[in-house]
């Protein structure tokens, strides 16, 4: 899985960074509304990519560490980083941090690239302090199993690094298995242009033709935003 992710995102790092730049302000506004932040938090963004979530969080917390496995994406992120944001290369299944180290642990648009999302969630939970907040954001598969299979076929054709887009019930099951308490959940529609969506993944030639043939009639993506609490304090 990591080889596919590295190959895909190394090729499209600059385009993704430019696309994420257009979303940082809106993401920051949504974070400020979702999370009760004091400004003193130490935050971790797992699978940070070009740093959209970390950069959006930067003015809202004391410090942010963004972690990713793709050096090219991290290079884009570092070029945009303010003083209180650090970007590190590392494996999300074995986070290089001590237990209970962060007040806020986040991951956005990452889980569908993971062969074993439960391992990453367990690591995120390990480094989150008791009483701390976790935020997970990812695209959602439909409840209908057949529609979910069709969506995943399209997404894998568009982007071979896609492992599986999970449904809301699957994500909630992962949260429950880690003892996390769901405090708030929102579903956000992302209106997408199919051509631009394919270009963002570097999908071209025969791969693009196959993805277009598999594309759903409605290209709108649906994303779940989940705010969770780790019991303790």
pLDDT tens-place string over residues 168-213: 999 999 999 999 999 999 999 998 999 999 998 889 999 999 999 9
- Using an 8 Å Cβ cutoff, are 224 and 171 in contact? yes
Listed in sequence order, the DSSP H helices in the chain are 2-21, 24-34, 52-57, 71-78, 117-127, 145-158, 168-177, 194-200, 205-214
E strand or H helix at 1, and its extent? none
HSE on the CB side for 182, CA within 13 Å? 16
What pLDDT is recorded for position 1? 45
Any idea where the domains of the chain sit in the sequence? Answer: 2-229
Question: Where does the pLDDT of residue 121 fall: very low under 50, low under 70, confident under 90, or very high at 90 and above?
Answer: very high
DSSP at 36: -
Closest by Cα among 54, 42, 123, 117 to 87: 54
Taking the C-alpha atoms of residue 233 and residue 224, their distance in angstroms, rounded to an integer, is 26
54-58 contacts: CB < 8 A, separation 24 or more? 54/81, 54/85, 54/87, 55/24, 55/80, 55/81, 55/82, 55/85, 56/24, 56/25, 56/27, 56/28, 56/31, 57/28, 57/31, 57/104, 57/106, 58/82, 58/84, 58/85
What pLDDT is recorded for position 184? 96
Q: Which CATH superfamily is domain 2-229 in?
A: Vaccinia Virus protein VP39 (3.40.50.150)
Task: State pTM to two decimals.
Answer: 0.93
More confident residue, 202 or 134: 134
Question: Where does the pLDDT of residue 233 fall: very low under 50, low under 70, confident under 90, or very high at 90 and above?
Answer: low
Give the torsion through C-alpha atoms of 115, 120, 121, 127, to 10 deg. 180
Q: What are phi and psi of 222, to 5 degrees?
A: -120, 130
């Amino acid at each position: 899985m990591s080889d596919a992710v590295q190959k895909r995102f190394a090729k499209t790092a600059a385009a993704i960074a430019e696309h994420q730049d257009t979303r940082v302000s809106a993401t920051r506004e949504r974070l400020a509304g979702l999370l009760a932040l004091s400004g003193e938090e130490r935050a971790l963004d797992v699978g940070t990519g070009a740093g959209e979530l970390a950069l959006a969080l930067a003015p809202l917390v004391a410090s942010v560490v963004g972690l990713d496995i793709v050096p090219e994406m991290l290079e884009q992120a570092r070029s945009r980083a303010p003083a209180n944001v650090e970007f590190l290369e590392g494996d999300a299944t074995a986070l290089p941090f001590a237990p209970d180290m962060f007040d806020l642990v986040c991951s956005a648009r990452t889980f569908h690239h993971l062969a074993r999302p439960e391992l990453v969630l367990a690591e995120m939970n390990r480094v989150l302090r008791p009483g701390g907040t976790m935020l997970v954001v990812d695209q959602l598969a439909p409840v209908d199993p057949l529609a979910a299979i069709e969506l995943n076929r399209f997404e894998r054709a568009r982007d071979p690094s896609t492992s599986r887009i999970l449904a809301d019930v699957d994500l909630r099951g992962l949260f429950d298995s880690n003892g996390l308490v769901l405090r708030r959940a929102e579903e956000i529609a992302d209106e997408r242009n199919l051509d631009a969506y394919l270009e963002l993944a570097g999908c071209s030639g025969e791969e693009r033709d196959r993805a277009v043939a598999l594309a759903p009639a409605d290209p709108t993506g649906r994303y779940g935003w989940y705010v969770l609490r780790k019991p303790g304090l």
